[in-house]
Amino acid sequence: MSCPNGRVASGTRVSLRRWFAQAAIVVMAAASLATAQAGAPQLYTNQSFVEDAVAAPSLPITNPMAMFSFVLSNLPERVKVYPTENYYYFSFTHDHVRYAGNIRLDVVDRDSGKVNFAYYVDLAEWKDQDPITYALLDQRNGVKVEKLEPLVYRISYGTRSVVFELNDLSKVKPPPSVLGADETYIGPVFDESAMRFFLVFNRKLKLFHYVLDETIPIADQLIPIPGSERILIGKRTGFAYYRDDKAERKILIGVFEGNSRVNNYYDGPFDQLPDNFIEGETLREAILAVDPTLTGKIDRYGISPGGQDRYLIAPYRHYRNDDDLMAFERCTTNKRVPASRYYECFVYDEDSGMQRAEIPPPKPKSRARPNTSHKHL
């Protein structure tokens, strides 16, 4: 899920000592990452959850620069940004309420010394979304962004500097058996769920697939759903895949709807396109093949002028139950679906509620999404 840009006025000044001392949630997250990298499992307890909620730490929540200082000051000196749209996610507690946010080194403007910063009350299905505090920061705000080497940047504010190492997947390529004759490889996707995909475009059918990257151990356990040996669901992520009949690969076909509603880490890879690894006009040409009306209206990343919207690539279904997913298998075994349209079975058409292969080809249309993102832990 994505959020619009917005600005808020600076608020009341708060003692740095007070709110730095109450940064437990961010410090714990950094410690957890260090432990995970060392190979030891991390233990999480209800005790720490309760004590964090009860403590009611108070932060300068209406002052985005003070909050940026708070986040930066509680990060290690060097961090790793895994998602491929370059978001570094975090969360904290303010006045009993959980907040989430991100620091983003956007491929469009980071080399111009800019960094995106956003935070908001965490999302939940039972309430409306609260306002989002957003700021595009640069030297005018006292924030310095330095490129140290390809995909490595230093962000400094005040006396604090943190090195952000972006995820270098430049050498990640799909095995020959994964790509079909009519397909173009757009680039590698590292989702915030810790799942890796190959973004693939079918030139003949004019459609996209997220194909599971199995060149590395996958960070999930896949189990078949009742009644199908080809449809698999991740026990951790809820991501659903179809074991391709025609190639040695698994195509992402479903994301659990509840995760999409609350915009958590398992809401699907639509907001983690391979920005750092898109070669030339490859993505724009693919999008224009789907929707020629966007000619002159998007850049090579699929972003509209002004940067507010981005072309949505989400061919999978937001499912609620196993039967929603069985529709994909029914499509692949439907004798009325020509073999030439087999891969259209893995594109879900939200307007008709059907697989694209089972309906006449729809008229091209633009599906845009805001070009920022926010997550909760």
Residues 349 and 313 reside in one and the same domain: yes
Mean pLDDT of the region 324-335? 96
In a domain, 1, yes or no: no
Residue with more model confidence, 2 or 76: 76
Residues 233 and 270 reside in one and the same domain: yes
Residues 136 and 251 reside in one and the same domain: no
Residues 160 and 196 reside in one and the same domain: no
In a domain, 307, yes or no: yes
Q: List pLDDT tens digits, range 212-252.
A: 999 999 999 999 999 999 999 999 999 999 999 999 999 99
In a domain, 82, yes or no: yes
Q: Are 74 and 157 in contact (CB under 8 A)?
A: no
Instruction: Reply yes or no on whether the pLDDT at 6 is more than 90.
Output: no
Residues 147 and 198 reside in one and the same domain: no
* Percentage of residues in the chain having pLDDT higher than 70: 86
Q: Which of 44-58, 129-143, 173-187, 258-272 has the lowest mean pLDDT?
A: 44-58
Distance CA 95, CA 97 (A): 6
Domain encompassing residue 298: 183-370
pLDDT of residue 366: 55
Q: List pLDDT tens digits, range 163-201.
A: 999 999 999 999 999 999 999 999 999 999 999 999 999
pLDDT of residue 201: 98
Which of 359, 348, 352 minimizes the C-alpha distance to 325? 348
Q: 119, 138, 166: which is the final residue of a domain?
A: 166
Residues 149 and 200 reside in one and the same domain: no
In a domain, 125, yes or no: yes
Residues 53 and 145 reside in one and the same domain: yes
Residue 309 dihedral angles phi and psi, to the nearest 5°: -125, 155
pLDDT of residue 25: 40
Three-state DSSP state, 377: coil
Q: Are 123 and 101 in contact (CB under 8 A)?
A: no
Helix (H) or strand (E) holding 202: strand 196-202
Residues 23 and 91 reside in one and the same domain: yes
Which of 334, 289, 343, 281 minimizes the C-alpha distance to 315? 343
Mean pLDDT of the region 52-59? 86
pLDDT of residue 362: 53
Q: Which of 15-29, 223-237, 333-347 has the lowest mean pLDDT?
A: 15-29
Q: Band the pLDDT of 27: cuts 50, 70, 90.
A: very low
In a domain, 243, yes or no: yes
pLDDT of residue 31: 44
In a domain, 376, yes or no: no
Which range, 143-147, 260-264, 361-365, is most confident?
A: 143-147
Residues 329 and 202 reside in one and the same domain: yes
In a domain, 10, yes or no: no
* Percentage of residues in the chain having pLDDT higher than 90: 78
Instruction: Reply yes or no on whether the pLDDT at 33 is more than 60.
Output: no
Instruction: Give 212: exposed, middle or buried? Use CB within 10 Å, 0-12, 13-18, 19+.
Output: buried
Which of 278, 279, 259, 277 minimizes the C-alpha distance to 269? 259
Residues 235 and 364 reside in one and the same domain: yes
Q: Band the pLDDT of 375: cuts 50, 70, 90.
A: low
Locate tokens 């750092």: which residue?
Answer: 276
Q: Is the dihedral of CA 95, 129, 321, 209 positive or negative?
A: negative
Which of 247, 225, 234, 179 minimizes the C-alpha distance to 328? 225
Q: Which residues contact 221 (CB under 8 A, 6 or more apart)?
A: 234, 235, 236
Mean pLDDT of the region 115-141? 94
Instruction: Reply yes or no on whether the pLDDT at 9 is more than 50.
Output: no
pLDDT of residue 239: 98
Q: Tell me the CA distances in angstroms from 200 to 111, 130, 187, one per residue in order.
A: 28, 35, 7
Q: Are 12 and 60 in contact (CB under 8 A)?
A: yes
Instruction: Reply yes or no on whether the pLDDT at 138 is more than 90.
Output: yes
Distance CA 99, CA 376 (A): 8
Q: Band the pLDDT of 321: cuts 50, 70, 90.
A: very high
- Number of structural domains the chain divides into: 2
CA angle 325, 186, 203 (to 5 degrees): 75
Mean confidence (pLDDT) of the chain: 88
pLDDT of residue 116: 98
Q: Which of 126-135, 151-160, 357-366 has the lowest mean pLDDT?
A: 357-366
Q: How many CB atoms lie within 10 A of CB 184?
A: 16
Q: List pLDDT tens digits, range 83-99.
A: 999 999 999 999 999 99
Instruction: Reply yes or no on whether the pLDDT at 123 is more than 50.
Output: yes
Q: List pLDDT tens digits, range 275-290.
A: 999 999 999 999 999 9
Distance CA 270, CA 259 (A): 13
pLDDT of residue 10: 28
Helix (H) or strand (E) holding 273: none
Instruction: Give 149: exposed, middle or buried? Use CB within 10 Å, 0-12, 13-18, 19+.
Output: exposed
Distance CA 18, CA 30 (A): 20
For residue 225, the 8-state DSSP code is: P
Q: Band the pLDDT of 377: cuts 50, 70, 90.
A: very low
Instruction: Reply yes or no on whether the pLDDT at 255 is more than 50.
Output: yes
Residues 191 and 277 reside in one and the same domain: yes
> How would you classify the pairing of strands 348-349 and 354-355?
antiparallel
pLDDT of residue 30: 45
Distance CA 33, CA 43 (A): 12
Three-state DSSP state, 64: helix
In a domain, 4, yes or no: no
Residues 151 and 190 reside in one and the same domain: no
